[in-house]
């Protein structure tokens, strides 16, 4: 967040300054009522045995034609596989092989995948699980050296992009995308179920392992939230109180928000350097390179909220609430919309409820910036926004939530946004707010100047 009116650095201090408001310095240090500490994972109520769930072997004389296999930009090289070995493929860049199992496979029960292949030169591939109904995929990018590979991929390490979030239990096919192209011998693909622990337990265990020292991490649970931290002075009770209040606020504002059986993880690190090291490990585990920018005191990705502890905050750092709000809405709505105007704006409002900072001076100066009014059309198109636009997102969220009719319209519109996979307000204005986007913009800016322009 930077200066919206002079240069980018001042708005950062104004908006991110709301993260630096101390809460009650005498917060209670008693045992956390209602918090479960280091709870054993709940067994999955399933009849499937632990072990191999599915295996697809490939033979050297296979043509890979038929309803079960789909090839795009791939040539099967006849007769070049070793006897009894895998099928040899010549793949163009971004070529795809996708396989539908002959019988229904319980993808949701699997905990890891195993891919047996040979790369005839260094290459990158993406292992995929595909949900054809929603047109989405979970995937993991893998860097291959030349030679034989038996790749073991925990399914907690699969990732997704913006838009509708894929669900593993809705997958109908698996596939391999050959990012760089090349020559490969594909031998077998397998899905395994390793134990009876549920997906939440697997995720929490993996997140704990990405701390600097997992043995120093304590895990607490209350309601839908799971708090993991190695900060010795962190008091979980006021944090959970703040999260519970935020959850109640969201439920009151958005009564149509779907429930989720996924845990909402919040990770609080002992210091900022560890917070940044975590992101190198966590994103690399998912085959990506994602991390916080210099001004980011919190970051949420794949529904995992993170921040660091600091002595500048005595009880609840407002960043915790901001990032947990992102994780809650992502996992509830099944919508991945990083830095969306709407989700950032709503999170800032909840953050303000903790910090009690008044953004009126920020709004007032922003309204006087040349061209501010003309940016609303681009602001609300659902694409990621820059921190310089956060003041507008917050003010737009304040307007949407300040009137009962607009709140009800927002509640309904978010359900459609979830199904569409983006937070573009423009095509939904007439259906939910009763007027075209241009008229909605005029109404908003009139309210903004009356409320904050003086």
- Class of the CATH-defined domain 8-38+200-452: mainly alpha
As a whole number of angstroms, the distance between CA 99 and CA 72 comes to 12
Tokens matching residue 431: 């259906």
pLDDT band at 371 (very low <50, low <70, confident <90, very high): low
Tens digit of each residue's pLDDT (9 = 90 or more) over 378-398: 899 999 999 889 999 999 999
As a whole number of angstroms, the distance between CA 329 and CA 335 comes to 8
Q: Given the structure tokens 């918090």, which residue do they identify?
A: 35
Query: Mean of the per-residue pLDDT values for the chain?
Result: 87
Residue 370 pLDDT > 80:
no
Residue 19 pLDDT > 90:
no
Residue 6 pLDDT > 70:
no
Q: What is the pLDDT of residue 45?
A: 36
46: left (phi over 0), alpha (psi -120 to 50) or beta: beta
Q: What is the pLDDT of residue 305?
A: 98
Closest to 442 measured CA to CA, from 356, 376, 386, 381: 376
pLDDT band at 376 (very low <50, low <70, confident <90, very high): confident
Mean pLDDT along residues 77-87: 70
Using an 8 Å Cβ cutoff, are 291 and 304 in contact? no
H/E segment holding residue 274: helix 272-285
Tokens matching residue 352: 């303000």
Tens digit of each residue's pLDDT (9 = 90 or more) over 419-449: 999 999 999 999 999 999 999 999 999 999 9
Tens digit of each residue's pLDDT (9 = 90 or more) over 153-178: 999 999 999 999 999 999 999 999 99
**Is the pLDDT higher at 91 or at 60?**
91
3 state SS of 410: helix
Tens digit of each residue's pLDDT (9 = 90 or more) over 197-236: 788 899 999 999 999 999 999 999 999 999 999 999 999 9
Residue 326 pLDDT > 50:
yes
3 state SS of 159: strand
β-pair type (264-269, 225-229): parallel
Q: What is the pLDDT of residue 31?
A: 40
Domain topology for 51-193: Jelly Rolls (2.60.120)
Q: What is the pLDDT of residue 415?
A: 97
Residue 16 pLDDT > 60:
no
Q: What is the pLDDT of residue 49?
A: 74
Residue 266 pLDDT > 80:
yes
Q: What is the pLDDT of residue 373?
A: 63
β-pair type (123-131, 136-144): antiparallel
Q: What is the pLDDT of residue 78?
A: 67
pLDDT band at 38 (very low <50, low <70, confident <90, very high): very low
Using an 8 Å Cβ cutoff, are 356 and 21 in contact? yes
Check residue 386 and report its DSSP letter: -
pLDDT band at 84 (very low <50, low <70, confident <90, very high): low
Residue 41 pLDDT > 50:
no
Tens digit of each residue's pLDDT (9 = 90 or more) over 119-142: 999 999 999 999 998 899 999 999
Q: What is the pLDDT of residue 207?
A: 97
Q: What is the pTM of this model?
A: 0.87
Tokens matching residue 414: 């978010």
Residue 283 pLDDT > 50:
yes
In sequence order, the β-bridge partners of residue 185 are: 88, 118
Residue 18 pLDDT > 70:
no
Check residue 39 and report its DSSP letter: P
In sequence order, the β-bridge partners of residue 68 are: none
Using an 8 Å Cβ cutoff, are 97 and 89 in contact? yes
Separation of CA 166 from chain center: 11
Using an 8 Å Cβ cutoff, are 195 and 50 in contact? yes
**Domain(s) of CATH 1.10.390: residues in the chain:** 8-38+200-452
As a whole number of angstroms, the distance between CA 75 and CA 89 comes to 6
Separation of CA 3 from chain center: 28
pLDDT band at 91 (very low <50, low <70, confident <90, very high): very high
**Domain(s) of CATH 2.60.120.430: residues in the chain:** 51-193
Q: What is the pLDDT of residue 244?
A: 97
Residue 34 pLDDT > 80:
no
């Amino acid at each position: 967040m930077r200066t919206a009116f002079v240069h980018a650095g001042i708005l950062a201090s104004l908006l991110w300054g709301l993260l630096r408001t101390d809460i009650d310095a005498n917060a209670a240090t008693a045992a956390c009522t209602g918090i479960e500490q280091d709870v054993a994972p709940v067994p999955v109520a399933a009849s499937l045995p632990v072990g191999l769930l599915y295996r697809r072997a490939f033979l050297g004389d296979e043509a890979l034609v038929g309803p079960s296999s789909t090839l795009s930009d791939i040539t099967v090289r006849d007769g070049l596989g070793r006897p009894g070995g895998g099928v040899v493929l010549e793949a163009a860049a971004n070529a795809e092989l996708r396989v539908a199992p002959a019988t229904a496979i319980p993808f949701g029960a699997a905990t890891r995948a195993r891919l047996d292949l040979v790369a005839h030169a260094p290459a990158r591939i993406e292992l995929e699980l595909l949900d054809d109904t929603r047109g989405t995929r979970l995937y993991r990018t893998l860097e291959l050296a030349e030679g034989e590979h038996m790749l073991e991929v925990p399914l907690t390490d699969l990732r997704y992009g913006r838009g509708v979030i894929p669900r593993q239990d809705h997958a109908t096919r698996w596939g391999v995308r050959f990012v760089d192209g090349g020559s490969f011998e594909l031998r077998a693909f397998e899905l395994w179920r390793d134990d009876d622990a549920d997906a939440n337990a697997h995720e929490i265990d993996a997140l704990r392992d990405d701390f600097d020292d997992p043995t120093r991490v304590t895990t607490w649970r209350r309601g839908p939230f799971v708090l993991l931290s190695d900060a010795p002075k962190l008091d979980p009770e006021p944090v959970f109180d703040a999260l519970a209040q935020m959850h109640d606020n969201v439920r009151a504002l958005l009564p149509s928000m779907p429930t989720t059986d996924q845990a909402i993880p919040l990770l609080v690190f002992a210091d900022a350097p560890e917070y940044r090291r975590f992101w190198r490990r966590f994103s690399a585990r998912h085959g990506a390179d994602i991390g916080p920018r210099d001004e980011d005191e919190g970051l949420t990705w794949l529904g995992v909220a993170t921040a660091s502890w600091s002595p500048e905050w005595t009880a609840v750092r407002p960043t915790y609430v901001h990032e947990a709000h992102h994780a809650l809405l992502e996992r509830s709505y099944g919508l991945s919309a990083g830095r969306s105007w709407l989700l950032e704006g709503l999170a800032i409002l909840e953050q303000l409820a903790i910090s009690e900072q008044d953004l009126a001076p920020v709004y007032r100066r922003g309204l006087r910036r040349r061209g501010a009014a003309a940016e609303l059309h681009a602001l609300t198109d659902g694409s990621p926004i820059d921190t310089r636009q956060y003041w507008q997102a917050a003010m737009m969220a304040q307007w949407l939530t300040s009137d009962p009719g607009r709140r009800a319209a927002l509640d309904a519109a978010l359900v459609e946004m979830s199904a569409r996979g983006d937070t573009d307000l423009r095509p939904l204005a007439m259906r939910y707010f009763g007027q075209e986007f241009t008229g909605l913009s005029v109404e908003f800016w009139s309210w903004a100047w009356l409320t904050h322009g003086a």
